[in-house]
Amino acid sequence: MMYAPYEWASYISPMYYSVQAYFANVFGSTSVSPYLLGLALVGIGAMLINIVIIWFFHKPLQVDEA
């Protein structure tokens, strides 16, 4: 029911995996492990993106020697 960009963004959102894991845990219809693995992968991916951004754009501060 969502437009394509929003539907794509929902799959890389941590909320999708946590909600699906919760539903799988409460209703017991499927295994929780694929959703928890997806949540961990999204977290690791976000951390790697942040590390790359800081690595490229971080400027060290000047230290005055007094």
At 7-62, the pLDDT tens digits run 777 777 767 777 777 777 788 777 778 878 888 888 899 899 999 999 998 878 78
pTM of the model: 0.59
> Where does the pLDDT of residue 4 fall: very low under 50, low under 70, confident under 90, or very high at 90 and above?
confident
**Res. 66: pLDDT tops 70:** no
- Say what the pLDDT of residue 13 is: 73
- Say what the pLDDT of residue 51 is: 94
Q: What share of the chain is helix, strand, coil (3-state, %, to 5)?
A: 70, 0, 30
Q: How far is CA 24 from the centre of its chain?
A: 19
